[in-house]
Amino acid sequence: MSKCDVRIVFDKPDRTYHGGETVSGKVLVSVNQNVNAKGIRLTYQWRTHGRGNRATGDKQVLMLSEASQLTTGDDLVLPFQFTADEFPFTYRGHYLNIDHYVKADVDVAWAFNPKSEQEIIVLPGKRPAVFPASRTEVRLKEKPTKSNVGGAIGITIVGIVLLVFSFVFIFLLPFVLLGFVIYFIRKQMLAAKIREAKFTVPHLVVAPNEPWSFEFEFVPKSSFSVNEITMILIGQERVISGSGTDRTTHRHKIHESVIQLHPAGQVPAKPFRIAKTIPFPETTAYSFEASDNYLEWEARIRIDIPMSPDWKETKKLQVIPLPFAADLSGNMPATVTDLAEVVEMQEARLVEPAEPIDAVDLPATSAWQTNQTGSVANSAGHDNSPVTSEPANPFAPHQNTSSASTEFGSLSAIIQQLANRSTFGSDQRRILDEISQQTFPAEVETLRVVTTLSYFDDDRYNTGKTLSGKLLGTESEVRIFFPEQMNKTLDSLEPGHTWKGAVRIHKWDSLYRRLELFAE
């Protein structure tokens, strides 16, 4: 048993906040064994997860209590409040997820800290300081402060590197020259056909559903053939995993639309100009940039020329919530209130209404609770009014009443709930814990069967087979691990065959959004 049980209760049962909004609640600590605690702290931080290397934001750390001796049977109620980050917003994607986490832990010397961690959802609220001040400037990070000293140091370092590794550059020189030659030839081939090409985008900063304009013009030197001329609007997740020689880039398109500006055929020898205004796609995938994790939008013009290099030009765009974009034009102030209707759709996608989370407001029962004059909560002016109504026994084992704890009659229903982007990670773990000992009937369409490469505590599965497939009649993916004695049965399965049997839950693979199972 843990020395302490720690729970976090928020003032909002759905744990949904807007950027810049105050997040408040209480940390409940039930002491099971005497322990000398160095303090109790609350940490708030956003971080990415998915296929890319993890990126994190700055931590907000609140000391809820100083060092003290905790006695068996103590029940502590520690209020807290902090300000939600203005940016980034919560995002649940394919390779990239951005979540905001609140962790409470008891700092115990020479032992694992008892802790609890919960996610909160952060939607657009107060205008982020990192956002651009105009429609013509893409900015996802604060501008660095210029320093002549830093520039001088950088130039010195570059000079030293060039001097030390000059022999490497000499070796690479032929390849560099070859690259310049190819570039020059390509440029000359295009110059023989096109001159004065110009791709204009008045607004590089754009919002979902608003009119977005672009213009493209060029002067052909002579008539020439094209396969087509297109404007391509692309939104994508781009994440990087690994480092060094193992560094790998993964991309997933969240949007791609192609607008044909000229069909296949001849382009006459006269000025070509086209201007269009289109509705920008509806999306909640706002532009984001952090270490090895990106949500990117770009507009690309392409002249596809047969038997010749294509002419291309790309404009990087920044997608921000509509009120922030309107504010750049002086049409609308960006406040939490003004954003309510705009983010309503996003809230509906990310959050489904849940039953209230148990919360408490008890009178202080120990000197540790009452002597909090130096605590962050009180220094921030937190009032001690109840967060929600007090249950009869707040420190009884927590009974979560959210919709996620309903009985599941099928694997399909389980997958649907686990894959729901509004389901918190803590809720996913709780669902899996509830059903881990149950068995379920399964009918699976086989995609492939391979030898198991994973390691399990149950040795029977380490030398067995693994079936990857879909629940029959659905698109729900599963992976089933079989014991060795069933290998002959698996050897006879071909892609498209149906396997029927009983399974129990192993885990949820959040990256590939599939359920992993053990065959019984």
Q: Of 194, 214, 292, 302, nearest to 246 (Cα)?
A: 292
**Domain total for the chain?**
3
Regarding whether 100 and 22 lie in a shared domain, the answer is: yes
Regarding whether 303 and 283 lie in a shared domain, the answer is: yes
The token pair that represents 43 in the structure block: 């940490």
Regarding whether 38 and 22 lie in a shared domain, the answer is: yes
Regarding whether 108 and 31 lie in a shared domain, the answer is: yes
- Last residue of one domain, picked from the residues 325, 359, 383: 325
Regarding whether 397 and 423 lie in a shared domain, the answer is: no
Strand segments (E) across 291-413: 293-304, 311-319
Regarding whether 314 and 175 lie in a shared domain, the answer is: yes
CB 434 within 8 A of CB 462: no
Regarding whether 302 and 202 lie in a shared domain, the answer is: yes
- CATH number of the domain that residue 497 is part of: 2.40.50.140
Non-local (6+) Cβ contacts of 60 within 8 A are 43, 44, 45, 82, 83
- Last residue of one domain, picked from the residues 382, 401, 420: 401
In a domain, 132, yes or no: no
Instruction: Say how far apart CA 9 and CA 78 lie, in whole Å.
Output: 10
Per-residue pLDDT tens for 120-178? Answer: 999 999 999 888 888 888 887 754 444 444 455 656 665 665 565 665 556 666 656 65
Residues 157, 159, 160, CA angle at the centre, nearest 5°? 65
In a domain, 19, yes or no: yes
What number of other Cβ atoms are within 10 A of residue 344's Cβ? Answer: 11
Regarding whether 309 and 366 lie in a shared domain, the answer is: no
In a domain, 135, yes or no: no
For β-strands 16-18 and 115-123, DSSP reports them as: parallel
Regarding whether 460 and 371 lie in a shared domain, the answer is: no
Regarding whether 427 and 395 lie in a shared domain, the answer is: no
Regarding whether 312 and 383 lie in a shared domain, the answer is: no
| Per-residue pLDDT tens digits of the chain, which is 520 residues long | 678 999 999 999 889 999 999 999 999 999 999 988 999 999 999 999 999 999 999 999 999 999 989 999 989 999 999 999 999 999 988 899 999 999 999 999 888 899 999 999 999 999 998 888 888 888 877 544 444 444 556 566 656 655 656 655 566 666 566 555 555 555 555 555 677 889 999 999 999 989 999 999 999 888 888 999 999 999 999 999 999 889 999 999 999 999 999 999 999 989 999 999 999 999 989 999 999 999 999 999 999 988 788 889 999 999 999 888 876 754 443 333 334 444 444 444 443 333 333 333 333 333 333 333 333 333 333 443 334 334 444 444 444 433 333 455 689 888 888 877 556 666 777 888 888 888 999 999 999 888 887 777 788 898 889 999 999 988 889 999 999 999 988 888 888 999 999 999 988 887 677 899 999 8
The H or E element containing residue 103 is strand 96-108
Instruction: Say how far apart CA 281 and CA 270 lie, in whole Å.
Output: 33
Regarding whether 70 and 42 lie in a shared domain, the answer is: yes
In a domain, 139, yes or no: no
In a domain, 141, yes or no: no
Per-residue pLDDT tens for 317-344? Answer: 999 998 888 767 544 433 333 344 444 4
Supply the range of the domain harboring residue 365.
Answer: 4-126+343-401
- CATH number of the domain that residue 231 is part of: 2.60.40.640
In a domain, 335, yes or no: no
The token pair that represents 177 in the structure block: 């020259």
Report the chain's C-alpha Rg in angstroms: 29
In a domain, 336, yes or no: no
- Last residue of one domain, picked from the residues 401, 420, 451: 401
In a domain, 66, yes or no: yes
